[in-house]
Amino acid sequence: MVHFSSVHQKPASKNDRYLPESPRRLRLTGERSFFLKTVYFLCATLFSFSLSAQSWGAPKKDRCIQPGRATYSARLANDAGKGWENAANTTSIVINGVNQGTPDRTSNQGLGGMWGEWDINDNSCMPKWGAAKKDRCIGSGRATYSARLASDAGIGWDLAAKRTPITINGVNQGPPKRTNNQGVGGMWGEWDINDNSCLPTWGAPKKDNCISPGIVRYSARLSTDAGMGWEAAAKSTPITINGVNQGPPKRTNNQGAGGMWGEWDIKDDACVPKWQTAKNDGCKGMGIVQYSARLSTDAGMGWEAAAKSTPITINGVSQGPPKRTKNLGVGGMWGEWDINDNSCLPTWGAPKKDNCISPGIVQYSARLSTDAGMGWEAAAKSTFIVINGVNQGPPKRTNNQGVGGMWGEWDIEDASCNPRWETPQKDFCIEDGVRQYSATFFAVEGDKEAIAKKTPINLLSKDYYPTIEWNSNQMWGVFKVSDSTCKVNWTYVDDFLEINGPSIALCKASEMNKVWSTDGCSAPLYDTVSKSYKDKFFQPCVIHDLCYALPWNKEEKEKKGKIYCDGLFLVEMQRTCNGDPICLAAAVAWADAVILFGGSSFENAQKKLRCPER
């Protein structure tokens, strides 16, 4: 240990004033020994270093002097020409990152140098305990922990032990309850603290058996008595079963080497008598089905008593206890329930619309799906049906077809069975501003043609009466309907015939429409393709008809009248086709038809018509 003194002697001369105190006490004589020469050389060297700023060397921790305080010391590196004592007393130092100022004490140790001492705060000088260890349980939820004192921080082991707190399990437990100085074994402290690991605890509970309806017995073995004694610990220690605190056991049982056991009687729905899933046995009467189920457990009540008192839920409805019970021995205890079930009502399959049997009346029929135990005939005559959203009641007629099933028939009002025109077809233009529509006629009975002539059809918001035509034994109604898309472009027709028509005709084509009307394309063809070309070639047909009707003089008529008109007809149809090859082929076919068969039409037109008065 370094010893410090505050007593110093002034130097004997100017030359040795910077020497430490001990060398100055040597007797100086005239002799200059080698030793002194060496000392002076060193002093001269130190003197040269002293010309720089004074500073302390690295500080070192010497000793703890009290709790939280320590003495640090450091040697002065140089005095910067101020003198060692003065420099030491005026030079500060930084220790542990903190400026500690000038020393609390100085000590000139001669050749050992000038030293300073500082007394500063230092947590490493606090008395502290080593790691605490759990020694033993001392009661329910209490344990003794101990620890050895690591340092007395200079205040004495006994006093430090009695004053120094400790943290155990994250909690400050304060100073020890007891201390024990074991000499070379160290100073020890003991603490008695709360510790849940010292509570008496039960092992995992096990489910034993049902002991009454809705009650099951659980048991568990006591793991530790925590120093309380097995009987006392068992009777006071609760347990949690199925997430619920069940408290201490209802009964205890000390089995010696087998351990201390507890028993708990707790509610458990698994111990309620209950039925297995019910099965559908079949219809037993009108709207009644029988279900049956086997009893899973009697819950200690006895099978007969449990069966007669235990309800069941079937199809989401509680049906109560069974109507009948049946003990099948090894086959188990069974219950039977008779419950309402619409699936056991006689029902008809999907109705089908058969045919109209009179004006405004249609027949429907359906097959009976089940007789529900009533018998097929009785069930059929009493079971209603819903057709088109209306309850039609039981059938008007029944028909047992054997393996084909039991059938019912219903006669129902149906407007679709009234005389009517079917959906009309939009045919083609037949006159100036007139289009032909056609439709077939439906009538259940009577003179079909006479009824049809009196029955109008509504087309384009107007009623029309038909002209009757027959085609391949099929009666058609033909309707002439005003249609602006069938208007003849008389200006075009007039211009066409002015340019292309007979140059020596007796009157102009444009004048003929005052005394003549066209019937369009009058070819007697009714297939869909022909009807489409009658519409497309309407204007060429008008031009052709007018050309036939123009009065020719006898000479021109005999030379080229009809041939000329048929040629114009082909030209106008080809223009209308606009290059369509199928249409062009049809145009040639139509032109060939009038060339071959139009002679009488031309002669008749020439006989009947004349130029109108101007």
171-189 pLDDT per residue, tens = 999 999 999 999 999 999 9
CB-based contact 222:202 (threshold 8 Å): yes
pLDDT at 563 over 90: no
pLDDT digits (tens, 9 = 90+) for 192-209: 999 887 888 899 999 988
Lowest mean pLDDT among 5-9, 446-450, 584-588: 5-9
Strands (E), 423-580: 425-431, 434-442, 457-459, 462-464, 467-471, 474-482
More confident residue, 505 or 211: 211
Lowest mean pLDDT among 235-249, 313-327, 561-575, 597-611: 597-611
Which pLDDT band holds residue 364 (cuts at 50, 70, 90)? very high
* Amino acid residing at 64: C
More confident residue, 489 or 502: 489
Which pLDDT band holds residue 253 (cuts at 50, 70, 90)? very high
pLDDT digits (tens, 9 = 90+) for 500-513: 655 445 555 555 55
**What would the 3-class secondary structure string for 72-93 be?**
EEEEEEECCCCCHHHHHHHCCE
Mean pLDDT, range 374-403, rounded to an integer:
92
Q: What's the confidence (pLDDT) of residue 614?
A: 38
Please state, in angstroms and rounded to a whole number, the distance separating the CA atoms of residues 100 and 561. Answer: 142
More confident residue, 430 or 348: 348
The percentage of the chain sitting over the pLDDT mark of 70, rounded to a whole number, equals 85
More confident residue, 460 or 515: 460
pLDDT at 523 over 90: no
Q: What's the confidence (pLDDT) of residue 300?
A: 73
Closest Cα to residue 369, out of 280, 291, 283, 279? 283
pLDDT at 40 over 80: no
The radius of gyration of the chain from alpha carbons, rounded to an integer in Å, stands at 65
Q: What's the confidence (pLDDT) of residue 604?
A: 80
Which pLDDT band holds residue 6 (cuts at 50, 70, 90)? very low
pLDDT at 526 over 70: no
Q: What pTM did the predictor assign?
A: 0.40
Count Cβ neighbours within 10 Å for each residue of 427-461 and write b for 16 or more, e otherwise: bbbbbbebbbbbbebbbbeeeeeebbeebebebee
Which pLDDT band holds residue 492 (cuts at 50, 70, 90)? confident
Backbone CA torsion sign across 315, 321, 324, 328: positive
Q: What's the confidence (pLDDT) of residue 245?
A: 94
Mean pLDDT, range 546-557, rounded to an integer:
70
Q: What's the confidence (pLDDT) of residue 25?
A: 40
Q: What's the confidence (pLDDT) of residue 18?
A: 37
Mean pLDDT, range 319-324, rounded to an integer:
94
pLDDT digits (tens, 9 = 90+) for 277-305: 999 988 887 788 899 999 988 887 789 98
pLDDT at 482 over 70: yes
Average pLDDT, the chain: 83
* Amino acid residing at 26: L
Which pLDDT band holds residue 21 (cuts at 50, 70, 90)? very low
**63 is written with which tokens?**
């000793």
Question: Is the backbone of residue 186 left (phi > 0), alpha (psi -120 to 50) or beta?
Answer: left
Lowest mean pLDDT among 141-145, 204-208, 402-406, 493-497: 493-497
Please state, in angstroms and rounded to a whole number, the distance separating the CA atoms of residues 328 and 338. Answer: 20
Q: What's the confidence (pLDDT) of residue 138?
A: 81
Which pLDDT band holds residue 114 (cuts at 50, 70, 90)? very high
Closest Cα to residue 343, out of 320, 373, 313? 373
pLDDT at 350 over 90: yes
pLDDT digits (tens, 9 = 90+) for 124-183: 888 889 999 998 888 778 889 999 998 887 788 898 899 899 999 999 999 999 999 999
